[in-house]
Every structure is written in structure tokens, then in C-alpha cells.
Structure 1
């Protein structure tokens, strides 16, 4: 099979820089995750391994779980995260798949760009099918009856073809985890009949802590904790938001040769402090609102969760690829924006060429730029700036307070990527790197 390799690169097994070791996991952890999965057929499951094997998600999904139920693991090419992953998925058609949010966002961008080039009739049919599927799942989650006939027709005519194009038509479960994910991305994949099950956890807890299923009541929760994991909210505020803590046999013993860091993470009563902020409702569902370390504290002392604000902006301006909020110890908030652009499939480097969906959006503004640089060279283009300002104004209407409203923005000349350093190996945003790289742009916004 040309799209998969049969070896593990030796550099992936280099543990010299490791700060904690999770070389094994308890059978109990694997067992409770299997039970939450459901519908496992021993010896007939398959998955595609493409995340770094130093990542707890890859260790659990690709190694331990596959060993437990006799699954087949296909190792993707080295350039999977640069664009070849879909090719591998189309050869394998796995029954289980896990992706970090950025992977699903790339799938989303790909599908939206294909949709933008469809004829009017086909586009109308697609919109009907997506609306039908989304209503189907939302009704199920709310305990309401769904029009199963329309849903079946939508699957037959449209949705099965979309899933097949992604190589996920055989996937019994599609997991998402590793970073914050917007509700819009979850709803989009529901609309193409791929409901995402969000997973919440960390390496220090052997990966699994909570996992949502398609039967859970809404798209905002990360589900309930796995069996035998005690969970609490530490030091909650008036809205019940505090640090999520957990206690279980799956919690690690500590950081190697770093007792001070260990004491900061595991308190005297054995509770693991995750650093994630959230709430727990009266039914036991866990909701994550942000990272305590990522909170922006303005000059006025206001705590701002950046991911929430960034997602508000991206919801109003779906042509954006990335948004990064700035405002630590500042009088007001600003945001750095990048457009969706084509990516070199061999290197993963973002190009300057705008994707069709962005060019279609620009055409609606009566401008016809094809590259980011053309927009910037035009002033930046005042028409584009006004459209972005309008989108940010709409996002600001949903801000929790005036302090969480964005005052200024800047369009960056290049999208974020792994090769250029803004994203980590699992597509996590490296905020401190971006702040340093574009410090000159940020300073201009505060003049």
C-alpha cells in the first residue's frame, strides 16, 4: 500500500528529553475507554496512525487500544499532516479515527472550498442534505423525534459520498481532542453525518478523562468522566467556573527529577490540577471554557479566555484560517488574523494564494484579489478592512463584557503552519512564538 509505511522512525523512540514517562497504561484505563467507544468487533477494527507516537493520543489509540481489541494499525506517510492524510484515509477507510482540531479544520476548509465551486443546483442539494443531517442529530441530542426518512435520503444522495471522499465512510467513531474546538466545527461535521466525539484528558492522566458520545445532550460538553475517575471544580467563581481537577489510578506518579513541578500539579490529597478551566453540570457533564495559563489579564484586571473570543471572530468571518487574540497587561484587546491560503503538499508551507472560498467572498465585496499580498499592497484594501471590521463588530455583540471586545486588528502576510513555527507537531497554536514573531505588528496596533 503506497500511502502507508511499515516502519517506525527511530527518532520517535528517543526519550532523552522526556519529562515524564508513560510507557505503559493500566488495563483498566483501556477497558473503560473501550466501553465508552461501544460497537467494537475484536479483530476487525482499523485506524490510521499519523500523530507523533510521543503524543498520548497516539499511544492510547494506535497502540494500547489496538492491541487490546486486535485492531489493524496503518502508519501514514511522514507528510500526513502536510496534506497526504486524506489519501491514506481513502486507502484504509478506518473504523476508528482521532484528530486534533486543526486536522478537522483542514477537512472543513477543503470541503467548503469544493462547495464554493459547485453549480447552484448541486450547492442547493448539499445545503439541504447538511441541514437535514444537522437537524437529525440535534433532535436526537435533545430527545426529540427526527425525520429519519429525509435523513436516509440525504445520506444516500449526498452525505455518504462526502464521507467516502474523506475516507471516513466506515468510521464508527470520529474522535477530536488535544486542543479547544469550536461548536461550529462540531456542527459542521454533524451536518455531513460525521458527529465528532470530543475527548478531554492529558498525558499526566494517561490520556483519557472525559469523552462525549453522539447521545450526549449538546455540542458544548466534553462528555462525562470515564468510570472510576473522580472530578471536581477547584476554586469556582460566581458562575461555577474553576480549574478542573481529577483523581484516579490513571494519574501519573510525577515528573522525572522535578519534585517542585510535581507538587504544583498533584496536591496533597492526590488531585491532579489540569490547568483547564470549566464547569460540571448537575448531570455530571463537563464543560471546558479555557486554559488558566492562556488567560489574558488586561491592564484593568479583566480575565479574558482568548480561544472563546477567537472563535467568535472566526464564526463571523469563516474565510479566516487563524486568529490570535492579544491583550496581556494592555488597555484593550487586538487580534492578529490570517486568511485561508493554499498549502504546499510536499513541505506544508503556506503559500500566498487565497483559497477559492476567500476569492468568492472577495468577489462579493466587488474586489478580485487572488493573493494576500495584493490585499496588503492595496493599503490594505479599505473594502476588505471594512468587511473584517463588520465581522468583528458582530463578534463583539456576543462578548461577555466591554473589556472582552476587540478594538483593533491586523492582517498577517502569512498563515500559521508547522514549518514556519507558529503551530506545534499536533497543530497546537504556539502563542508565545507568534507574539514574539509579530511583536512589531502588535506594537503598531497599540500606538
Structure 2
């Protein structure tokens, strides 16, 4: 019996899909979110599930308390009138209440709708209307005011709950967290259980909105099975530990409106009964805040995005530069020993004495300084992890296990493990999924296609886009370009829209060049190569600078690391404006030297960077140059700096 390819997907919120089954899988039975959670709550009721900071101590809940809190909140949502397959918008930073609301929305038969906290009120209106949101959960008054501005347009909205801070002005159908959590006392267990029992693994339970460079956000429909299957597949590949012997201790700090963060900080921990300690929201912005919680919790596994790993790298470099000459020299020696050993682990039959000494003197101290001394695996999720960052950590005997995935495949698709590691690759497809490269060129580079039960259901209310995303056999085409080597390791080279076509029709992938720019010129924060249909390449460069902790806006003041770099080279620059418009010949010469080193690697004039400019402002999410996951929004940047780019080719 043949299956219609479109049975694998839908664009309707109440639609159901056929699961992509693989006969080789060890875990065929699909699960709902409730089944995933009740299994752990029943098996390990007294283990710590969540910890949140209260003044100078940690307040914790066990797995049975976690489960009961989610049920209690689900009853309150039903009391407020949440309808089946209608949205519950969650607008705010990650926190304890966020975890509860997210799961309770699903228990109650609604759709959890995670919203980027910095979205404008216009975008919030679109999401509310698109998801048919019955209820909005907002963090504070700032978020509440966004909903007030558009409330008259929201025909499905029944109530708003402000789950943090005191409500400044009481209005009808506006509830505090304490009021909300007690609302469902009149809803019986039987009513809630009927809602839970009606749910199927192949139905939607969550919407993740992805921001493109133009137009409205796309609503990625995620099913129960997408989440529960992905978690079990990842656990087949990555060696997370399990209770009762070795329960995992994890830190939650990544923004939970991103599906990879949810997989590793919400759903996977539930599956293995891990203890998750929730960081303050500023942990993503303020390095010291992240380091503080890492040192307090000392997680057993840690997942970072490239921006986080880069920030910790800068911290280590700053500490190194502030140390004595003797300590600095020991540091440099140890890094050389560590990198040599990491790049050639099989070169010596036994661990060299020099490596053991370096480990005791430096490597163990670095891990303690980062709060990662108990960490058994160091994961990196998201695009942009350069070879330079990976080699930096390898020099401290910290192998970053790179993963690849996207929202449309519920987060991870490939993972790397320490036992099955190919340096600088993104690893192999998780158990039960497959990768394929279509139309490879002579170097083996082609578009990456994915297959597995983690593939999303479709784009809500967008049948055309949904059908366009899948091929006739149900494979997802990603828009990413890469190589799948003979051993099954995936190597990403860039996205189709990133490819630069020279005036002679040659293809150039800008990301490796941009990584080399940042490696050769340590003061550079972001580099973007341009030159489509041109005779040569040009570069837009930003410098490492401080950021406003509240707004995320970049300042003109250089970071401490950047300032010390300038001082080391006899430059007096302390601000971006000291360097822009060719005001600092010393830094200009350093930048040009770094570019020359890259240009020497090619004989083609069209592949060389002949012009460049340091921009007056660093890229940021607040400025729109970066998306919520810190990726450059290239077409947006090109529009912003179209006059500058045009000036390169006059």
C-alpha cells in the first residue's frame, strides 16, 4: 500500500500526519508529552526536577511536584476557556513559570506558542491571530502593554496572565500568577484527563515561529512525536547518564523560544530525570552571570551555542593576558601540548608526560574556572562554530561536540560524540534518521536533505510553503549546503542564499572566509563577505564592543579583550569610532595584513577581498542584523548597507 507524500505533513492546526517509521528503530511506539512526563514522575517522584534561584538559595521541586504543578496550571487554563488546538502565547524570558506554562498548555489540549520576548506588538498580534491564542502568558508590564495595544483585534483572546512582577493596573480578565494557579480548583481530574486522553502523538502540540528576512514569521508545527521521538533518538547517540546511579545535573540558560534549547533543557531532562537549574535571564547577555551559575551548579553536561563558546573563550584569553609572564608562558605551552594531543590522539600509545603535567597545571584549572569540572560532554548547537574556536577548546582538552539541525527537524539532526568524533564535522545523523546530499558538485557539495520522525508537521496555514519544503518522498530540503562523507559525517559549508556567484559564474561560500577573517584579526566580531556578480570580494567588518545589558544594543566602547589587543599593538583606540573611517592606521594595517593572508590562499582575483570597511555599529539582535539564534540576517544587512556595498564597486 503506497503512501501519499503529503500524508507526512499538514498545514492545519488540528491535522494529523503519518509518522516516518524506520524498521531498524528500537523505539517504535509513539508517545505523547504527557506519557513522557508521567513515566518519569512515576518512576523517580522524589528526584529534583527544577531549581530556581530565590535570594541566596535554590528553591527546588521534585518530579512529582513538577508534574502536579503542570496539571494544576492545565486546569486553570481550562477554567479560563482554553479550547482544543488553540494557542497559549508565552511572552517572556525563560524562568520557572515558563517551564510550567509550556507543559500545562499541552496537557490542557492547547498549543504551546513560544514567542521571542523582543518581538514588537505588531508581530505579537500576528502570532496571536495566527495561532488562535485563547490565553496570553506575559512576563511583566512591558510585555503586557504589547498585548494591550492589539487586544481589540484578538478575537480568540479570553484572558491574560502576568506571571512575574505586580500588575500595575487591574483590568477584567487579567490575572497574576498566584490568582491563575488557583483558578482551576473547580476543574476535576476527570475533565483534565479527558483532555489528555484525547491527544495523539501525531498531532500538533507546539508552534515555533521563525523570523525570516522579509514578511511575517513562519509557524513551524511540532507534534508530540516530534519531541518525544527526537529526545529518545538523541539519547541513543549521546551518552547522557541516568538515575538512580548517575543523574544528570544541567543548567537552563538558552532562550526557550528556540526548539534546540527546549530539547536539551526541557524535554530531554524529563526523559532522563535530570535536575535542571534555571539561570537568570541575563545569563545569555552577561558572561559573569553565566559563569556564576555554572560554578554554583557544576553541570555534568553543557550545551552552548557558538556565541557562548566564543564569549567564554574571550574570558579565558582576558584572564591569560592579566596573569604574570611566567603563568602566561605556562598557559601557552600547555595549549600547544593540548592541541597537539587532541589533533593526533593516536600518535602515542600512552598519554605523554607533558600532557599529564599540562592537564594538572592548566586544563583542570580551566574547567574549574568555567564551572565545567564535572562536565562529561561539551555540546555546541547552532551554526557558526568556527575551526578557530574548536581548536582553542581542543588545546584545553575540551572537545566541542558539534551538532547540526534546524527548527524544522525539532532541533538536532546530527550529533558528535567523544567516542565517534570526526573533528570539525557536525557528526552523524541521530538514530532512525537519514541525511542525503542532492545534486553534489565535483567537490561533493550539494543541498542537504533530511528524513526522520523528527521532521516537523508543516507550516501553519501555509500549504504552498509546506509542500515546497518536502520532496515527493517526504524528505525535507533544508536550504543548507554541505558534504556527506563516505563515513556518514556531515560537513556544512553554508546556505544556498549565502552563496556568492562571481561575475564569471563561480560559486563562493562566504562562511569559511568569514571565519578566517575573525581568526586572523582577533578584534573582529562579525565579518560578512559580499560581492555577488562582482569581479572581487569585499568585507563588512564589525569590532568587538560592549553591549547594553538591558536593551542588547551595542555600545561604541571596545571590549576589554579588544582594548588590550589594541594596546599590545601600540594603538590607543578604546572606541569603535577611534578606528572607523581609517582613523587608526595601526589597526588598519593589522586588518589588511589579515586579509592579505587570506588572499594569498587563492590565485583567482574574483576570490580575493580587495575592499573592506569597519562599520560604526556591531551587529545585534536589537538592531535586526542578527536573528534570535544569533545568525546573520544577510539580506537585511545588505539592505541596511546597500550604499556602502555599492561604494566598493564604483
- The equivalences for 1:91-110 within 5 A come to 91-110=296-315
Instruction: Tell whether 2:326 aligns with 1:121.
Output: yes
How much has 1:401 moved relative to structure 2? 4.2
Q: Which residue does 2:293 correspond to in 1?
A: 88
Contact 2:222 2:457 in 1 (8 A): no
Q: Which residue does 1:20 correspond to in 2?
A: 220
User: Structure 1, residues 258-280: CA drift from partner, whole Å, max 9, x if none?
Assistant: 22212221100121112111112
The normalised TM-score by structure 1 is: 0.92
Match of 1:188 among 370, 387, 392: 392
Instruction: Tell whether 2:234 aligns with 1:29.
Output: no
User: Structure 1, residues 158-184: CA drift from partner, whole Å, max 9, x if none?
Assistant: 222222222222221111121131111
Contact 2:546 2:559 in 1 (8 A): yes
User: Structure 1, residues 202-238: CA drift from partner, whole Å, max 9, x if none?
Assistant: 2222222111123445422111112221222100101
Q: Which residue does 2:15 correspond to in 1?
A: none
Give the SS at the match of 1:154: helix
Distance 1:126 1:105, change over 3 A: same
Distance 1:194 1:217, change over 3 A: closer
The normalised TM-score by structure 2 is: 0.64
Distance 1:191 1:39, change over 3 A: same
Distance 1:425 1:368, change over 3 A: same
Q: CA RMSD in A?
A: 2.4
Give the SS at the match of 2:344: helix
Instruction: Tell whether 2:382 aligns with 1:382.
Output: no
Distance 1:107 1:400, change over 3 A: farther
User: Structure 1, residues 136-157: CA drift from partner, whole Å, max 9, x if none?
Assistant: 22222x5654535433322222
- Cα distance between partner residues in 1 of 2:551 and 2:350: 45
Q: Which residue does 1:150 correspond to in 2?
A: 354
User: Structure 1, residues 300-339: CA drift from partner, whole Å, max 9, x if none?
Assistant: 3222211111012112112211111112233321101122
Give the SS at the match of 2:267: helix
- Cα distance between partner residues in 2 of 1:220 and 1:331: 31
- The equivalences for 1:332-351 within 5 A come to 332-351=536-555
Unaligned runs of 5+ in 1: none
How much has 1:387 moved relative to structure 2? 1.9
User: Structure 1, residues 230-253: CA drift from partner, whole Å, max 9, x if none?
Assistant: 222100101111111122222223
- The equivalences for 1:392-403 within 5 A come to 392-399=595-602, 401-403=604-606
Contact 2:237 2:431 in 1 (8 A): no
Contact 1:12 1:53 in 2 (8 A): no
Distance 1:68 1:399, change over 3 A: farther
Instruction: Tell whether 2:298 aligns with 1:208.
Output: no
How much has 1:358 moved relative to structure 2? 2.9
Q: Is the deviation greater in 16-25 or in 241-250? A: 16-25
- Cα distance between partner residues in 2 of 1:104 and 1:303: 30
Paired positions, count: 445
- Cα distance between partner residues in 2 of 1:371 and 1:360: 12
Give the SS at the match of 1:201: strand
Give the SS at the match of 1:387: helix
Q: Which segments of structure 1 move beyond 4 Å, counting only runs of 4 or more?
A: 2-5, 9-12
Instruction: Tell whether 2:527 aligns with 1:323.
Output: yes
Contact 1:48 1:97 in 2 (8 A): yes
Q: Which residue does 1:352 correspond to in 2?
A: 556
Distance 1:310 1:400, change over 3 A: farther
Match of 1:293 among 470, 486, 497: 497
Instruction: Tell whether 2:644 aligns with 1:441.
Output: yes
Give the SS at the match of 1:246: strand
Unaligned runs of 5+ in 2: 1-52, 59-94, 102-111, 116-126, 131-208, 210-218
Give the SS at the match of 1:425: coil
Contact 1:81 1:348 in 2 (8 A): no
Give the SS at the match of 2:526: strand
- Cα distance between partner residues in 2 of 1:85 and 1:347: 18
Contact 2:298 2:372 in 1 (8 A): yes
Instruction: Tell whether 2:629 aligns with 1:426.
Output: yes
- The equivalences for 1:233-252 within 5 A come to 233-252=437-456
- Cα distance between partner residues in 1 of 2:96 and 2:432: 37
- Cα distance between partner residues in 1 of 2:463 and 2:243: 42
